[in-house]
Structure 1
Amino acid sequence: MSERTDRELLAAHVAGDRDAFGVLFTRHRDRMWAVALRTMGNHEDAADGLQDGMIAAYRRASSYRGDAAVTTWLHRVVVNACLDRLRAGKVRRADPLPDDLDERSGRGSLVAADPSGTPDPADVAVRHERRGVVLDALATLPPEQRAALVLVDMEGYPVAEAAVMLDCPVGTVKSRCSRGRARLAELLAPLLDAERDADDVPARNPVPPAPVSPGDPPRGPPVS
């Protein structure tokens, strides 16, 4: 028997299959977790938001009309649950932001992975610091702007699909992203300036001497 599609799993759940929803959730868990984590800002709130969303999806599965992909519908439910928590102030704002986002999802990494598979420790430290600054800035945005940027810029969803997830017009998503990007650019200006200045610093090591050919005379101080 071939693997059931998302729609078949959701329909089976509505029909009474006790295992179908668990299979569906497991299939898309990592991507929904990444969205919840970036939207909420820490592990505990992300877990609460994801749990709220999954309970709502489990109970309201019969309301799925089929006018969007099941994954889009699931993300919409999860994002709404996260936004509800943010609007209600049910968040742990003092908690540190997570540093394992890229391990949770292969999409929209804030920091590109090292192609060699053996990153330099100094590079890792710089990346962690940069990622922390970006996430701290993201956490200051209004919930709706944050959710739009997470979906479009970090998770890579098309604006039209993000609009379905956020239950708003496409123009509203574009506007939220535009305002959010402008605010992030303002907040991250010191980081960008520091990196630009670092790139402009000349190398401290002197230029190495040209190699000596076997036939060249030996180099040294002039002989008087």
Structure 2
Amino acid sequence: MNYNKKIILKNILVTLFLCLSMILIFPMNTQAAKKKSYKRAAVTVSASRLKKKPSSRSKTICKIKQYKSCTVLSKNKNGWYKVKYDKKTGYVKKNTVIVGSKAKKLLKKIKKSSYQKLGTFKITAYCWTGNPTASGVYPKSNHTIAVDPKVIPLGTKIKINGKTYVAEDTGVRNKSIDIYMSSRISAIYWGVKYLPVYKVVKPNIDIML
């Protein structure tokens, strides 16, 4: 009887030891996985070409525009970074991006300095009359706005209520903006609003670096 008890006790102790070992091992692996992180990179040239392979002759997957960020997956000895951008993986030249804390600092400054407040404007809406805009292009919804060119020059990018528009038309005066909409009903529904208006400005990257 004592012998059987010893066997049972031994089995219990072995089982407990195995359970404790598993508990200790798996959290360590989980923590190690959490510690693994990738550096951010910011494009400093007008556009960086995302290549399929680390070679200038390789096929271009897409272009990453200036001030856009991507994630560095690994370094390449031939002057390339393997990166992930917009769910696409490829290679960019090292001299077209900055990485790590410098990139983080730059992106933070760009976010703060990308908009210049012009003040509160009277915002109305209009629909298509069948003619091109004052800048010669046809209006597009969620894109075209009419402005006073003495206040906002044509071609200026303007942010209103979280959306970015382009000043392509005229017909209003002073601190007023007319947003082009695809239908008369949408324009009527908009009514008249008074909202803060921001000019989208291009940051001076030379000062920031």
TM-score normalised over the length of structure 2:
0.20
Higher strand proportion? 2
Q: Radius of gyration: which is bigger?
A: 2
Greater helix fraction, Structure 1 or Structure 2: 1
